[in-house]
Structure 1
């Protein structure tokens, strides 16, 4: 199993509510169409009076059976559509992504 993580920042001038609505209603359905996608997890910061805002708007985890399955997904029509949509709803200059190794404990 491989895990791909995307740390998303919304475009300047977009409110949290606008970003979240667009992300949930348009981007997520596109991402869930990725072939070979095993699991898709979205994480959003919540109001926390004890800590400053994290500087990101979403952390997305995409799980695939292996790296070949992941690369095949990105190269598919669904992968291209999801990537193109991310350019619309996110500030790619401050969004980052990586293939990660997850360790428990």
Structure 2
């Protein structure tokens, strides 16, 4: 299993960000073929009590790297990427991870 990870820095207007994320972006992302699960976490702090350096963490799970690559190159993936760059391009850091299964 692999996941596409998006870390979002704090937006200036959190209400506008949340509105666009949940009403426009997430529905676009959920249409990507091969998506197994979209998990979104609002980051609320650090273990030492300070503010988290990021606002939101989104993890999109796919069966393997081939499925992720196919989703990213699909019409749905391109639409989600275009939207992302339009509303949060300056806020987001994207990474790909392999899910490690512990014993």
**Shared fold, TM over 0.5:** yes
CA RMSD of aligned residues (A): 2.0
Alignment TM-score, normalising by the size of structure 2: 0.84
Q: Which consecutive unaligned segments of at least 5 residues does structure 2 have?
A: none
**Would you say how many aligned residue pairs link Structure 1 and Structure 2?**
101
Q: Tell whether the 8 Å contact from 1:10 to 1:19 is kept in structure 2 after alignment.
A: no
Tell me, what secondary structure is at the counterpart of 1:37? coil
2:14 aligns with 16
Structure 2: how far apart are the matches of 1:58 and 1:24? 12
Alignment TM-score, normalising by the size of structure 1: 0.83
CA distance 1:95–1:30, shift in 2 (3 Å): same
Structure 2: how far apart are the matches of 1:87 and 1:44? 20
- Per-residue CA deviations over 1:53-83 (Å, capped at 9, x if unaligned) read 2122211101001111100000001000000
CA distance 1:85–1:10, shift in 2 (3 Å): farther
Tell me, what secondary structure is at the counterpart of 2:22? helix
Q: Which consecutive unaligned segments of at least 5 residues does structure 1 have?
A: none
2:2 aligns with 2
Q: Tell whether the 8 Å contact from 2:44 to 2:55 is kept in structure 1 after alignment.
A: no
2:95 aligns with 98
- Per-residue CA deviations over 1:8-39 (Å, capped at 9, x if unaligned) read 2355xx31111111100000000000000011
